[in-house]
Amino acid sequence: MAKEISSLSRAYLLLYNGILSNGWLIVLVQMVQHLVKTDGDYAGVYEAVALPLQVFQTAAILEIVHAAIGIVPSSAVVTFAQVFSRIVVLWPVLHYTSGVSATYGPVMMITCWSITEIIRYAFYVSSLLQWTPYALLWCRYTFFYALYPLGVFGELVCVYRAMTVVKNTAQFSFPLPNSLNVSFDFFCFLVLFAALYLPVFPHLYLHMIKQRAKYIGKPKTA
């Protein structure tokens, strides 16, 4: 977090991060409750957590603003890319494309998102309070080893399912000619969107490994 911020900014960030950490806990709890009640039926997971998931993931757009105005030290460009990718998967892919929520992708993705964000926002709160328990620090820079690739795989499952639907329905596509004289092919967009994971994921994953080595050292090997 930023070292020198105003008292008002600090209070706001404490509130924001505290709400988001608890919000993602609500998402996780509701998902687990659904799976318990339905004996592990993942087909209805998204519908069971849709409202809190939409609210708290969309609220992450504010993180772009935080970075842009300088109250957090994050890069606004990197933050935009990370938030934008999730918004695409959440809204046009998962929410508005028929059949995507019935796959196993959402439950994998939502599980990883929830655990990651509960820890991340709690870590930001502790950093603002200048007291971070080692257990929270360890979780912040260790759980990503599994959660990040599994979450990305879940996202790609959703995108792939959406591609098979969009290819046949031309959903969200605007071919020429039209009144705006602008064309857009949502299927091609999804292909490009999925392809970008190939160079971006290794870069961010290696960055987290470096961050782990910086803050808690390299993982021990047998």
DSSP secondary structure letters along 175-220: PSS-TT---B-HHHHHHHHHHTHHHHHHHHHHHHHHHHHHHH-PPP
**Distance (Å) of CA 18 to CA 15, 28, 119, 179:** 5, 16, 11, 46
Do the Cβ atoms of 185 and 173 come closer than 8 Å? yes
CB under 8 A, 24+ apart: contacts of 89-92: 89/155, 89/158, 89/159, 90/53, 90/54, 90/57, 90/58, 91/54, 92/162, 92/172, 92/186
pLDDT at 181: 85
pLDDT at 222: 40
pLDDT at 122: 98
Which positions ≥6 away from 50 have C-beta within 8 Å?
Answer: 95
pLDDT at 177: 84
Q: Could you list the active site residues? A: 148, 155
Number of alpha helices (DSSP H) and beta strands (DSSP E) in the chain: 9, 0
Helix or strand or coil: residue 15? helix
pLDDT at 219: 53
Q: pLDDT tens digits for the chain (222 residues)?
A: 444 789 999 999 999 999 999 999 999 999 999 999 999 999 999 999 999 999 999 999 999 999 999 999 999 999 999 999 999 999 999 999 999 999 999 999 999 999 999 999 999 999 999 999 999 999 999 999 999 999 999 999 999 999 999 999 999 999 888 888 889 999 999 999 999 999 999 999 999 999 999 999 755 544
| Angle between helix 105-128 and 45-58 (nearest 10) | 30
CA dist 38 and 36 (Å) reads 6
Do the Cβ atoms of 117 and 59 come closer than 8 Å? no
Amino acid identity of residue 206, one-letter, is L
